Amino acid sequence: MKKPVLERPVLLDVQGITRLYGPAKGCEAIDFQLHAGEVLGIVGESGSGKSTLLRVLAGLEAPDAGQVLYRRQTDDAGAEEAELDLYAIGEARRRALLRLEWGLVHQNPRDGLRMGVSAGANIGERLMAQGQRHYGQLRATGQTWMRQVELDPGRIDDAPRTFSGGMQQRLQIARTLVTQPRLVFMDEPTGGLDVSVQARLLDMLRTLVRQLGLSVVLVTHDLAVARLLAHRLMVMRRGQVVETGLTDQILDDPQHEYTQLLVSSVLTP
């Protein structure tokens, strides 16, 4: 049997991350560890600093203080460095990491897709970055992934700008996961969609996350999304962490006053 997630090796070690845009804006002194195969949900109201933190974690924005250490789980030690200090390596290597080993799902598919090129090219692009060149294989993989995210593979040559918002988000997820990323960041992956579309997407996402055993840092203000996807939650308020714990514990028995408010405002219509 697989080990419980919290007993598995640490993949991401986040120490004292601060990124401020002025007093009380951004995020401050954030510490946590993400274990391999774990889904960590970062929750909190709009403006609590979730997206800021995620941008720092994904290597997109340097922190004012603190470190992000990425520990690869690698069998052939020596072939790759086992630990990377994200902001000690250069920007080119950070970008390469995001392109080749990690994945990022944006809230708005516009930020994660190229709207003018075909769905197949959107999926194939990241595989090509990893060195795959065989056209037939890229196309077949594209179709397989479209099926996987419940898109009609017959639309592989259509550009995502002709897709609905829900379809675009599915395509963004396929594009992100096709490379089998070791670490995935998601910022409000079901945000901005109709409630019924959200529910289906969430269901699909949960199946994929479980099937692939993904390691995910998931940002969401939606506690229902957090409940369905996350093993553990970190609750943020005004840039700081107020409470961390197992998802059920936090949602069923919140200790901090702020978390209690957050949970009750969702439960009472």
Residues that bind ligand ADP in the complex, under the rule CB under 6 A: 21, 25-26, 44, 46-52
Name the DSSP class of 79.
T
Please list the residues that pair with 103 across neighbouring strands: 184
Minimum Å gap between C-beta 132 and ligand ADP is 34
Q: Give Cα separations from 67 to 13, 106, 155, 264 (angstroms).
A: 8, 23, 43, 34
User: If we measure between CA atoms, which residue out of 246, 248, 260, 236 comes closest to residue 48?
Assistant: 236
Query: What one-character-per-residue DSSP string does 145-209 give?
Result: HHHHTT--GGGTTS-GGGS-HHHHHHHHHHHHHTT--SEEEEESTTTTS-HHHHHHHHHHHHHHH
Stretch that binds Mg ion, among 15-23, 50-58, 143-151, 234-242 (CB under 5 A): 50-58
CB–CB of 12/185 below 8 Å?
no
- For residue 21, the partner it binds in Mg ion, ligand ADP, none, with Cβ less than 5 to 8 A by kind, is ligand ADP
Q: Which two tokens stand for residue 92?
A: 């080119």
Q: Which residue has the CB atom at the shortest distance from Mg ion?
A: 51
When CB distances are held under 5 to 8 angstroms depending on the partner's kind, the choice from Mg ion, ligand ADP, none that residue 120 binds is: none
In terms of residues, how long is the chain? 269
Q: At closest approach, how far in Å is the CB of 20 from ligand ADP?
A: 8
Measured from the CB atom, the residue of 38 and 188 that comes closer to ligand ADP is: 188
Report what 44 binds from ligand ADP, Mg ion, none; CB cut-off 5-8 Å by kind. Answer: ligand ADP
Shortest distance (Å) from residue 258 CB to ligand ADP: 13
Nearer to Mg ion by C-beta: 55 or 155?
A: 55
Interaction residues for Mg ion, span 132-171 (CB under 5 A): none
51 makes contact with Mg ion (CB under 5 A): yes
How many residues touch Mg ion (CB under 5 A)? 1
Using the contact rule CB under 5 A, the part of the chain among 45-53, 140-148, 233-241, 248-256 near Mg ion is 45-53
Dist CA 150 CA 58 (whole Å): 27
CA pair distance 105, 264, nearest whole angstrom: 28
Nearer of residues 22 and 131 to ligand ADP, judged by Cβ: 22
For residue 109, the partner it binds in Mg ion, ligand ADP, none, with Cβ less than 5 to 8 A by kind, is none
Considering only CA atoms, which of 243, 241, 217, 221 is closest in space to residue 57?
Answer: 217
Tokens for 142, please give them: 């594209």
Judged by beta carbon, residue 51 or residue 122, the one nearer Mg ion is 51
Binding site for Mg ion (CB under 5 A): 51
